[in-house]
Amino acid sequence: MEFSALQKARYAYKPKLPASLSQPLDRIALEAGAPTEAIADQDELRSIFKHSYGKPVVKFVSGRNERITRPLKAGVILSGGQAPGGHNVIAGLYDGLRKGNKDSVLYGFQGGPAGLIENRAVRIDDELMDRYRNTGGFDIIGSGRTKIETPEQFAASLETVKKLALDAVVIIGGDDSNTNAALLAEYFLDRGSQAQVIGCPKTIDGDLKNEYIEASFGFDTAVKTYSELIGNIERDANSAKKYWHFIKLMGRSASHIALECALQTQPSVCFISEEVEAKKMSLSQVVETICASVVKRAGKGLNFGVVLVPEGLIEFIPEMKGLIGELNNILASNAEEFGEIKSFIEQMYWLSFKLSKESDAFFKSLPPEIAKQLLMDRDPHGNVQVSRIETEKLLMGMCEQQLRELAKQGKYQGKFGAQCHFFGYEGRCAFPSNFDADYCYSLGFGAFVLIASGLSGYISNIKNLVAPADEWIAGGVPLTMMMNMEQRHGSKKPVIKKALVELDGKPFRAFASQRETWAAETSFVFPGAIQYYGPPEVCDQPTITLKLEHQP
């Protein structure tokens, strides 16, 4: 295999650890807090997690820990979409196990949770691990989106654990994957197994976040990668001075990516889905917001700009949210019947008898290309795959139409040319930033300490992330503490609650205080590429979002 010069250089990078994890292993002890409660639906969750509910938050402190050096066998799973730094979580876990005892073993389950179910394990050794340190991607063992949810899948997972004589399984994933980790931990305990389950917080969307999980790993690298690309587009727009660029960014359920990218690049317009929903903005109002900026800037001779659109925006527009909700329920309940209808015209006719009058009218008003995208195959959770809906093209087309009307009325004299982009996969497997390289390694090493200390049903956590790495605070949080009950596939199920953008939070307020200026004046900022070498204020800084959230 050929390696780039950067890849070779990154192999040599030594991730930084919190001071609590840098001391001799047998001096890393646990300090436990009081019993915890879930954020909501406590009684229901207590009944589901009979063996694992209510455990205390723990943090690593100096003390005695004689158990930490015993030989251990662990398995690790990469679950869900890729996020920069996943390899370093595995590296931190591997190094912790080997440092604790040279006879400890780490298996990687190939292809995500399905690898555990089907016992597709590969033993990770020094040679394999060293090829992936500080690199992007999940290709060391691959990932997958299988959910462990049927009795047969749970039983097969336990059988794999028994065959390999595993002491623990580490699941690296987002909110759904860590919910799965909690259910698996409970299942093992209920069946009398001593095998532990530990989670690690992964998602570039940034929506696995709370008081104890300050950031999900991969977010830092992804938003810096996207911001570089947006800055490049802004520089081009400011040079050519003839295009409006509509850029859709990943982030379905929450707009953390769009918000951070806006703070880093200062585009002409950026939508935050949570605000659109709170204000009950219609699709036409969203278009009017963009057109208002186009008209203002055209009046100054600025016939160019940049619009950031969160991937999930379309689901937060009230009439679209209502339509998508109805479609999800109808297609879930009538999947077989709908699958037999081949033509789009026949599908529309069939749906006209199922949809409410309002949703049917709105559905028929959409461009056929967008309407067809709303009917494509559902994701594993039964929801429309919004990443495949070309929201940026929908908004661009509607803006063109609106601006033609304004021109006829003499309210717009500019020239409108537009380009569309979707920045998604470009950010998921980038070389992790120094921040993510350090953070992920610390999460993996912390997962080892949680395993060695005998805990299960926990997620590895690191706090105080705006400080230098040696001042980070490491520990573990009970997964049940982050849960509530939500409607999924027609029934209520335990899930880790997603963190949405808080409209009264400091990051959003900082954005909102400046956007009127950005809409009228060219205020672009060009962050440039991620820097790996140089002063800490250039190379090791966290996101603007994290800095603002930690302001007093």
- Is residue 493 within a helix (H) or strand (E), and if so which, with residue range? strand 491-496
Compute the distance between CA of residue 110 and CA of residue 118 in angstroms, rounded to an integer.
9
**Residue of 95, 167, 175, 205 marked catalytic:** 205
Number of neighbours of residue 69 by Cβ within 10 angstroms: 15
DSSP 280-302: T--HHHHHHHHHHHHHHHHHTT-
Residues whose CB falls within 8 Å of the CB of residue 150, separated by 6 or more in sequence, listed in order: none
CA 416 and chain centroid, separation = 34
How would you label 173-207 residue by residue, b for 16+ Cβ within 10 Å and e otherwise?
A: bbbbbbbbbbbbbbbbbeeebebbbbbbbbbbbbb
Residues whose CB falls within 8 Å of the CB of residue 140, separated by 6 or more in sequence, listed in order: 78, 87, 90, 108, 124, 128, 129, 131, 132
- Is residue 461 within a helix (H) or strand (E), and if so which, with residue range? strand 458-463
Residues whose CB falls within 8 Å of the CB of residue 259, separated by 6 or more in sequence, listed in order: 270, 272, 501, 507, 508, 511, 545
Number of neighbours of residue 248 by Cβ within 10 angstroms: 27
> Catalytic site residue 205?
yes
Compute the distance between CA of residue 203 and CA of residue 84 in angstroms, rounded to an integer.
9
Catalytic residues: 205
